[in-house]
Structure 1
Amino acid sequence: MPKILILIRYGITARTLLRTSFLDSLLAANIKVIVACPAFDEPKFLAEMTAKGVQLIPEPKLKKRLFERIYNAIANALCFEHPGTTKTLTMKWLHEGLIKPENPYKLRIFDFLFRGLMGVLNLHRSRKLRQLLLKLDPLFCKHPEIENLFDEVKPDLFFSPYPFEPDAHYIAEAKKRGIPAIGAVKSWDNLTSKIRVACEPDHWIAWSPQMKKEAVQYHYVDPEKIEITGTPQFDFYFNAQKFLPRDSFFKKMNIDPQKKLIVYSPGTSWTYSDEANLRMIHSIIMNTDFPYKCHLHIRKYPKSSVEYSSITNELGITVEDSGSVVPQWTDRIDQSPKDLEHLRQLMHFSDIVIQVSSSIAVDAACEDTPCIAYHLDKYDKVVPWAHRAKRCYSSEHNQLLIKAGGMRVVETKNELKYWLLQYLEYPETDSEGRKSIVSNILWNTDGQAGNRLAKALMNWLP
């Protein structure tokens, strides 16, 4: 029986791979699936995976040597993680260097200046430097913990849904042993917002031609190594399932079905104050001159632990979590199939989704729901100049949505009110743009991405 070892550190990734047709297809082909993850002993998850026949093992805790940490920091700053590589990384450099309070001041300033110098040198454009570092990387990716894992599992193929640090160490070990190493990208913004790819996989999986283009452009990946499959995490939008009656769904949510439903997705670190944003939206829709009766509902960001009880009680709005909290996962979130179906229903019945640099814009587009990109921070004098909220919609992934014409960026209170009224009166506005978002980001909407991804892995088995 062939064995595939998958490293999963995020609950969102577990949702994408283990609760979709991807896993079902592998198991149906009589392939042994072994998952190394931090939530290997979480009771509910363990019971669920055991029932499916998936073996869970603990993710090894890597003991990184000082020299290795220094090498990684310098290599990343030299050839990728500095201003100028992408607009997203430039924003990150400004914010983390001048704003981020949790980092010691002296360390922040040193890092800010060092990365700034690397940006001036434009070394991210040097293909030769990148190739040199790829040759050096395996020397710094040796860990007995990973060697022991591979000795124990003896996989026929290794699959990483996050081919950056620290998965690069596992990819290096697989390649050293002649085991096919496959890398996929877990989120649509990763190729323009994360660190460089060290120890490049043998093969790549991309969601779409756009993602393939980014892998080639920013990471110099050989296009012949990239296969496009779509992503399983959106398959549930395209499989024909009935919706609840509107009244039943609203009753479950404790919302008046006679009101228009406006869903706000918090920006967390991408906005200066979600509370201020909510108060602004609430003041508009509750004003006596606003012609529609509306209900404002918060769908919390999956990784966020922010508490909204005080403002929800004060303003009479509702709030929901995106899933269960499971501290063992790196992102602390666990989304069940039931959670995903609820999201589909929520996007379907929402009249407008307002978000701050969130992938929920893609979810909204899947149900052809109008979407507003909240950007009042841009001209707010209270927001520090270097804060990422000032320029979040210049990031590459957000520009894809804007250029598709599928959402409207609002920068003033008047613009916000105008587009609320426009979308409520004419919900078909920008429908073609929303279709473009779906096709550009997700590629194929046949609901078979999970099966295609599984087939790609099976084709690469020795």
Structure 2
Amino acid sequence: MVLHSKLSTQLRRAGFRLVVLTPDSGAGSIKAFQSDQLATESVAFQKTHLLMTLNDARRYLREPIQENAALWSRHQYVASGLAGNYAKYRAWMNHAAHRLLFRRQFVHRAFDAVDRKFHRRAALVDKLRSISPSLVVSTYPVDPFEISGLLAAKELGIKTVGHLLSWDNITCKGRFTAVPDYFVSWGPVMSEEIEQHYGVDCDRIFPVGVPHFDAHREEIDPSLNSDVLQDLGLDPGKPYLFLGMSAPIFAPHEIDVVQWLADNVSTGRFGDDMQLVIRPHPQNVTGNMADVSWLDRLKAMRSSRVALNLPLLSQRGLSWDLETRDLTVLVNLLAGCSICLNSGSTLSIDALAHNKPVVLTMFDADRTDLPWWQSASRIREYPHYKKLIEMGGVSPVDSFAQLEAEIDAYLTDPDRNHQQRAETLARECRAIDGLSCERVATAFDRILEMGN
């Protein structure tokens, strides 16, 4: 949000001094971003076993977990034992506690009190007192460090703001222990979720757009796209499909869908000139959800008509940290594609920013034996994706036959559901106009002017 957009520049231009506060374990990685526009401070903090246990328990005691497909599928994954025996038994116990205690209001109050007590960190209170910020902004309020930071700010009477990193943070990550005083939201959908889940008044929510999506207007360069396609071994004068993959935990047989598409493009099924760019998710490449065994299969798919766009991972040691150039390359590949395909990621909104048709491959290739919680089809039931699909701007498919038909339909009529795409984008992101960073700075100014 801050590190991969021009937000820090815009905030400095608006007169703000920006300090990024990190736990001491991440101080070395974040210092690479330090500049005259952005200072960094670290504080002693450990994500203890107790804090992680509380984070787990919160989803069960403070959320109707069986009514939320994202939370329930995660529970079933852990309860299956795939995350280890200790995690399995803890999931079983948490679910038993949920069934016994979830609907008892006094349990909510007691858990919240315990949760806040054990997340309080005197070191964070002291650090914020020494920095003396006007605002404390959290981008991921379910993270233990950010919970503790929000609680410290509230203890000191400092205004707090939620500026959420992703569109699924309200509905899919569990309840916030410390609810920020104000929010800057992506757009109307997120604003409504904040009101619904946390009862925050609408005059404390500022729909500003998405700062890192400003690149979809600022970074488009047809000559760069031509160079990128040539570097990938494709013909920049010919059309291409763009497929962005998910982490294997969300779509365990997506590799077989990718293989089918690569084979059909290579044999000219979608036209003599059609090409394909495949982009693995960063978590296909690294991290605790990676499956690097896919990489050899993906590399074997490359041909004169099929290319592999590997994410440009940085060496700074931060999770999901990509090189600045990677976003520019992604923006231009999306801007030039004929259709964007993915199995259920934010890439759908990225593609809508360029008014591109979006096809969602929410199925498991030819497999029909997967349990619901493991199948890619479950993603269409996740709250944030269910809303996106219902708006009509994207096209989910559940078989190879449907996938083939949707690609054919969009290649024949690229403007099909054009209006729904525009309306979906406006509901999710307010506007893709390159001005989101400026609106964030304006929102922060207004928040500072408002009383408590």
TM-score by length of 1: 0.84
Match of 2:61 in 1: 78
Q: Which moved more, 1:108-117 or 1:224-233?
A: 108-117
Match of 1:314 in 2: 300
In the TM superposition, what whole-angstrom CA distance separates every residue of 1:17-36 from its partner, at most 9, and x where no partner exists? 24434212221233321112
CA distance in 2, matches of 1:378, 1:399: 21
CA distance in 2, matches of 1:57, 1:128: 38
CA distance in 2, matches of 1:140, 1:245: 51
Determine if contact 2:242/2:337 at 8 Å carries over to the other structure: yes
Please give the residue correspondences for 1:16-415 in structure 2 after superposition, counting only pairs within 5 Å.
16-37=1-22, 40-42=27-29, 46=31, 48-50=33-35, 52-58=36-42, 60-62=44-46, 64=48, 66=50, 71-80=54-63, 82-84=65-67, 86-98=68-80, 101-104=82-85, 107-112=87-92, 114-115=94-95, 118=98, 123=103, 133-134=111-112, 137-166=115-144, 167-239=146-218, 242-244=221-223, 247-268=226-247, 269-287=249-267, 290-305=270-285, 306-307=291-292, 308-316=294-302, 317-326=306-315, 328-329=317-318, 331-336=319-324, 338-377=325-364, 380-415=367-402
CA distance in 1, matches of 2:203, 2:361: 39
Q: Which amino acid aligns with 2:312?
A: G
CA distance in 2, matches of 1:454, 1:361: 27
CA distance in 1, matches of 2:109, 2:204: 16
Determine if contact 2:355/2:421 at 8 Å carries over to the other structure: yes
Flag the 1:435–1:262 CA change in 2: closer, same or farther, 3 A: same
Q: Look up the SS of the partner of 1:333 in the other structure.
A: coil
Q: Which amino acid aligns with 2:300?
A: E
* Cα root mean square deviation, aligned: 2.9
TM-superposed CA distance for 1:319, in Å, is 1.7
Larger RCO (CA under 8 A, 6+ residues apart): 1
Flag the 1:371–1:72 CA change in 2: closer, same or farther, 3 A: closer
CA distance in 1, matches of 2:65, 2:54: 16
In the TM superposition, what whole-angstrom CA distance separates every residue of 1:183-209 from its partner, at most 9, and x where no partner exists? 221101111110211122222221112
Q: Look up the SS of the partner of 1:376 in the other structure.
A: coil
Q: Which amino acid aligns with 1:324?
A: L
CA distance in 1, matches of 2:165, 2:363: 29
Determine if contact 1:22/1:450 at 8 Å carries over to the other structure: yes
CA distance in 2, matches of 1:400, 1:198: 25
Flag the 1:229–1:291 CA change in 2: closer, same or farther, 3 A: closer
Match of 1:451 in 2: 438
- Gapped runs of 5+ residues in structure 2? 286-290
In the TM superposition, what whole-angstrom CA distance separates every residue of 1:111-130 from its partner, at most 9, and x where no partner exists? 1463266258663xx77865
TM-superposed CA distance for 1:89, in Å, is 1.7
In the TM superposition, what whole-angstrom CA distance separates every residue of 1:225-260 from its partner, at most 9, and x where no partner exists? 322222211112234854327644422332123543
Determine if contact 1:303/1:333 at 8 Å carries over to the other structure: no
Flag the 1:456–1:385 CA change in 2: closer, same or farther, 3 A: closer
Flag the 1:314–1:135 CA change in 2: closer, same or farther, 3 A: closer
In the TM superposition, what whole-angstrom CA distance separates every residue of 1:261-294 from its partner, at most 9, and x where no partner exists? 1222112221112321211212333346554443
TM-superposed CA distance for 1:49, in Å, is 3.0
CA distance in 1, matches of 2:113, 2:101: 22
Determine if contact 1:206/1:229 at 8 Å carries over to the other structure: yes
In the TM superposition, what whole-angstrom CA distance separates every residue of 1:125-156 from its partner, at most 9, and x where no partner exists? x7786566555543222213323422442323
Q: Look up the SS of the partner of 1:218 in the other structure.
A: helix
TM-superposed CA distance for 1:408, in Å, is 1.3
Flag the 1:318–1:245 CA change in 2: closer, same or farther, 3 A: closer
CA distance in 1, matches of 2:52, 2:268: 59
CA distance in 2, matches of 1:437, 1:36: 35
Identity of aligned residues (%): 19
Q: Which amino acid aligns with 1:82?
A: I
Determine if contact 2:339/2:358 at 8 Å carries over to the other structure: yes
TM-superposed CA distance for 1:107, in Å, is 3.7
Determine if contact 2:102/2:108 at 8 Å carries over to the other structure: no
CA distance in 2, matches of 1:231, 1:127: 36
- Gapped runs of 5+ residues in structure 1? 1-15
Flag the 1:304–1:151 CA change in 2: closer, same or farther, 3 A: farther
